[in-house]
Chains A and B, each alone.
Chain A
Amino acid sequence: MSAWPELQAAFADYLLHGEQAPALAAGVRSDHIAARSRLLVHRNNVFSSLIDALAELYPVVAQLVGERFFRSVAREYVRTHPPSDPILLCYGEHFPDFLQQLEAARAVPYLADVARLELARHQAYHAADAESLPVRALGGVPQARLGELWLGLHPSIRLLASDYPVSRICELHAGGSPPKPVTLGRESERLLVIRQHYDVETQRLSLGAYALLSSLAEKHTLGKAFEAARAADPHFDLGVQLHDFFDAGAFVDLRMPPTQETKHD
């Protein structure tokens, strides 16, 4: 008879790998139903509950590849990337990269990017709460010093660039059932995912707007971010774009560096 730590370790090993160590096989009672079949109930519970969690997080991926293929891929992901935390809201964050590496999914080259968008929307839904600043918060900043401004982004913001029209693909599958076949051009997309109050939105951004927000996300000043936006799009209009971002609730913090005089004090 094994003490509980050894028996539990054998049980845990069986759940992930399916092989019954002698300690486990000897420890579980067989009767009209074999110990093997009884243990299998738990192994099935582990895998099916975690595969279900992935299917809930990645419904469009599941539609694109079909339920059977999805469940077999998800099973392999669960086996190789089991959760470490009982909070399942955080489970499945490596699934897009897992799909990217998957030989069997090569036929759907946009699959990993669709998964990235679904993950971004899920993370935005659960991201920390923060009060967005109104555009009038800019009012106190002298025009001449706008470039020195540092803007903090809302914690729900995720930025995504893809070579494929992934947000269009997700919209078409939003109803939960596969759409009628359509032909989408191979157009790249730059996306902003953001939560306002309860709801997550996906916005398609221009080259310049994406460059601006990406630069701000890297904690660059507005001046630096504007340079990046202009490099991406020479006609970029900062005023209009900033207004749109404030309207979307994109900024939660706004700071000016100390003035020159203060610095030298």
Chain B
Amino acid sequence: MQRTATPFEPIPARAGIGLKASHYREILESSPDLGWFEVHPENYMGPGGAPNRYLEAIRQRYPLSLHGVGLSLGSSEALKRDHLAKLRALVRRYEPGLVSEHLAWSSLGSTHFNDLLPVPLTRETLDCVCEHVSQTQDFLKRRILIENPSGYLSFRHSEIPEPEFLAQVAERTGCGLLLDVNNAYVSACNLGFDAAAYLDAVPARHVGEIHLAGHTVIAEDGHELRIDDHGARVATAVWAQYERVVKRIGPRPTLIEWDTRIPPLSTLLQEAELADGVLASAPSRGRKHVSVA
């Protein structure tokens, strides 16, 4: 359906894919049957040019989710107001159905590290993350979702299990959670805990979106480490965990992420179809849409 304006539109409990520049034209030419698209807002914060023109055209046909990677909510220092202001400008321009960020830090002082870096899970950092999430929601005047990270290390003095930490952030700030099933699986393998138990511990009522992606296995010190590089099809074990999650909490908007070694659009659409299949066979309980208030 073509529209001239882009009023707020919730993300349906269907599969969506991450929007890639190399697919812009094909999407506009073929209008694939897909629930929604997600983008990193940082890629649309340039002064002008083609990216926002394409995104505007695609937004006229599909619901859109903004998935930030630059707020550094887990940092011990204050949020960057100029970055928040740029995010708010995009939120106003595109009226996204969902806005999300990570339980991670990526900047400190004058350096941006371009990685989602780990936060110790303590009472101290819980206060810090909650304050930053609340500031972001106040600034954007809307609810955001927070994503569980992919973990490669743990801090000795962490005192709160991650699902509980995330649930606390949601309870205290009113934010929702973005449950990345691949991240949970990757962390579980890397850090030696049970992925299913972790996923079961995340309260269903907070989950507003699910992420799925592929990862890579490398050897480190003679042991396997799983690297969350978003560069492959979703692993079989991750699909199995996803089915369990959807069975427990009901259908949720589900994103196929693919950010390195980007395949043809058709591959992403195939993965989305698989996710749609799981969603369609699920009991439809839980909330289908995450409210914006």
A59 at the interface (CB under 8 A from B): no
The stretch that binds B, out of A5-13, A111-119, A165-173, A256-264, is: A5-13
Complex Cα–Cα for A48 and B153 (A)? 19
Chain A residues contacting B115 (CB-CB under 8 Å) are 15, 42, 45-46, 49
Give the chain B neighbours of A5 by CB distance below 8 A: 76-77
Judged by a CB distance under 8 angstroms, whether A21 is at the interface is no
What 1/0 flags go to B43-64 for Cβ under 8 Å of A? 1011111110110000000000
B residues in contact with A125, CB < 8 Å: 49-50
Assembly CA distance A187 to B53 (angstroms): 38
Check if B220 is an interface residue, CB within 8 A of chain A.
yes
With both chains docked as a complex, state the minimum distance between the C-beta of A92 and any C-beta of chain B, in angstroms: 12
B128 touches A4 (CB 8 A): yes
Shortest distance from the beta carbon of A83 to any chain B beta carbon, whole Å: 5
Binds B, one of A30-38, A144-152, A230-238: A30-38
**Which residues of chain A (111-142) have a CB below 8 Å from chain B?**
124-130
Residues of B with C-beta under 8 A to A87: 42, 45-46, 70, 83, 86
- A1-30 interface mask toward B, CB cutoff 8 Å, 1 = contact, 0 = none? 101110111011001100000000011110
Cβ–Cβ contact A155 & B125, under 8 A:
no
Which residue of A has the minimal Cβ distance to B51?
A126
Q: Are A34 and B221 closer than 8 Å at their CB atoms?
A: yes
Interface locus among B3-11, B106-114, B138-146, B240-248: B106-114
Q: Which residues of B contact A156 (CB under 8 A)?
A: 49
| Most central of A38, A86, A129, A156 by chain B CB within 10 Å | A86
1/0 per residue, CB under 8 A from A, across B206-235: the answer is 000000000000001101010100000000
A15 to B105, CA, bound (A): 13
Q: Which residue of B lies closest to A11 (CB)?
A: B117
A28's partner among B50, B128, B153, B225 (CB-CB below 8 A) is: B153
Within 8 A of A (CB), among B12-49: 42-43, 45-49
User: How far is the CB of B119 from the nearest CB of chain A, in Å?
Assistant: 8
B112, B118, B128: the one within 8 Å of A83 (CB)? B112
Complexed CA–CA distance, A255 and B254 (Å): 53
Q: Which residues of B contact A1 (CB under 8 A)?
A: 156-157
The distance from the CB of A79 to the nearest CB of chain B, in whole angstroms, is 11
Across the interface, do B76 and A195 meet the contact criterion of CB distance under 8 Å?
A: no
Determine which of A3, A33, A82 lies in contact with B225 in the assembled complex, contact meaning CB atoms within 8 Å.
A33
Residue A103 at the chain B interface, CB threshold 8 Å: no
CB distance from A86 to the nearest CB of B (A): 3
The size of the chain A interface, using a CB distance under 8 A, is: 53
A3–chain B nearest beta-carbon distance, Å: 6
Q: Mark A209-249, 1 if CB is under 8 A from B, else 0.
A: 00000000000000000000000000000000000000000
Within 8 A of A (CB), among B175-193: 190, 192
Q: How far is the CA of A7 from the CA of B109 in the complex (A)?
A: 14
Q: Are B111 and A12 in contact (CB under 8 A)?
A: yes
Contact among B46, B54, B156, B221 for A26, CB-based, below 8 A: B156
Contact A126 B111 (CB under 8 A): no
Asked if B120 is an interface residue, CB under 8 A from chain A, the answer is yes
From known contacts A4-B125, A83-B114, A198-B53, infer whether A155 and B120 are also in contact, taking CB-CB under 8 Å. no
Report yes or no: B106 in contact with A86, Cβ–Cβ below 8 A: yes
A86 touches which of B42, B110, B190 (Cβ 8 Å): B42
Chain A residues near B42 (CB, 8 Å)?
86-89
In the assembled complex, how far is the CB of residue A124 from the closest CB belonging to chain B, in whole angstroms? 8
Tell whether A85 is near chain B: CB-to-CB under 8 Å.
yes
**Bound: A85/B154 CA distance, A:** 27
Asked whether A143 is an interface residue with its Cβ less than 8 Å from the other chain, the reply is: no
A39 at the interface (CB under 8 A from B): yes
Residue B152 at the A interface, CB < 8 A? yes
Among candidates A4, A15, A37, A50, residue contacting B220 with C-beta atoms closer than 8 Å:
A37
Measured CB to CB, the closest approach of chain B to A119, in angstroms, equals 14
Near B by CB (< 8 A), chain A positions 43-79 give: 45-46, 49-50, 52-53
- Closest 4 A-B residue pairs measured CB to CB? A86-B70, A38-B153, A126-B46, A129-B48
A-B contact pairs, 27 of them (CB 8 A): A1-B157, A3-B124, A5-B76, A7-B120, A7-B155, A8-B105, A12-B108, A12-B109, A12-B111, A12-B113, A27-B157, A29-B153, A29-B156, A37-B220, A38-B220, A46-B114, A84-B111, A84-B112, A87-B70, A88-B114, A89-B46, A125-B50, A127-B47, A127-B49, A195-B49, A198-B49, A199-B50
